[in-house]
Amino acid sequence: MTHRILKYEIPVVTQEFTIRLPVDGHILSVQAQHNVPQMWVRGNMDAPTEEVRFLLLTTGEPIARSVGAFLGTFQLHEGRFIGHVFRAGSP
């Protein structure tokens, strides 16, 4: 069993997105790296993977759906875009 810290790019063109993560994956951080939003996850490289749904909301945006756990906030373009990432709640 080999655990590693993995990095996944967060798309900013859609409010809801999915990322295929190891089933035992633990989200460590959400930040921008070189003006690209990223998510760092600790997971077992040998574990099966699953599609995990997330929501990207911006500051001041109405929240019209159920949201799950808050994962982190990132800033792009010198703070002109601020995104907040959540696990997707029930549809």
Is-contact 85 30, C-beta < 8 A? yes
Percent of the chain with pLDDT over 70: 98
pLDDT level of residue 80 (50, 70, 90 thresholds) = very high
Q: Say yes or no to pLDDT of 91 above 90.
A: no
Query: What is the DSSP pairing of strand 81-88 with strand 49-58?
Result: antiparallel
CA distance 1 to 14: 34
CB neighbour class for 17 (10 Å; exposed up to 12, middle 13-18, buried from 19)? middle
**Does the CA dihedral 16-21-23-28 come out positive or negative?**
negative
Instruction: Name the residue with tokens 């909301």.
Output: 57
